[in-house]
Amino acid sequence: MSGQAYDSNNIFGKILRGEIPCHRVYEDEDTLAFMDVMPQSPGHLLVVPKAPSRNILDADPAVLSKVIPVVQKLARAAKEAFEADGITVIQFNEPAAGQTVYHLHFHVVPRYEGQPLKPHSGQMENNDVLAANAEKIIGELGN
């Protein structure tokens, strides 16, 4: 396969190995989901397959088939928990497309009528706000 190889020394690799913390909202054998520290909208979370791949271009289709149902589950939960009008799912591949962390992930972003998104990788959110938002989603998943 052409393109750059996966480098496990990326932020999400470190989160998956427990080397740096995250506000976790969901985990199963194949997938971890946690709050984005620079949310583009309240409740912005990331769904990350545990299997290593740089992005969708080098991912194993078997991994994609497991992660997408989790993206759907979290999109539904985030829409309810944040009383959103809609959900944007975003996934960037390579720097030219806006990717900044090189472990495959899907953004799940609550949206509201007439409200534009905040910038991608913009301002860091307060830790307590992220923790409270994670609890909202966890609570919704429990319903």
- 22 φ, ψ to 5°? -150, 165
Is 105 a residue of the active site?
yes
- The CB-of-23 to ligand 5GP minimum distance in angstroms stands at 7
For the chain, how many helices (H) and strands (E)? 3, 5
Query: What letter does residue 75 receive in the DSSP assignment?
Result: H
Q: Which residues pair with 48 in a beta bridge?
A: 32
Widest distance between CA atoms in the chain: 44
Nearer to ligand 5GP, 38 or 138 (CB): 38
Nearest distance from C-beta of residue 101 to ligand 5GP, angstroms: 4
User: Nearer Cβ to ligand 5GP, position 28 or 120?
Assistant: 120
Minimum CB distance to ligand 5GP, residue 87 (Å): 15
**Residue of 23, 44, 103, 105 marked active site:** 105
- Residue number of the CB closest to ligand 5GP reads 38
How far apart are alpha carbons 29 and 100 in whole angstroms? Answer: 25
Q: Which residue has the tokens 């997938």?
A: 31
Q: Which residues bind ligand 5GP (CB under 6 A)?
A: 11, 22, 34-38, 92, 98-101, 120-121
What's the min distance (Å) between Cβ of 74 and ligand 5GP? Answer: 14
| Rounded Cα distance, 22 and 35, in Å | 7
Query: Hey, what are 22's tokens?
Result: 């995250």
| Beta carbon nearer to ligand 5GP, 54 or 143 | 54
Give the nearer residue to ligand 5GP in terms of CB position, either 23 or 79.
23
What are the residue numbers of the active site?
A: 105
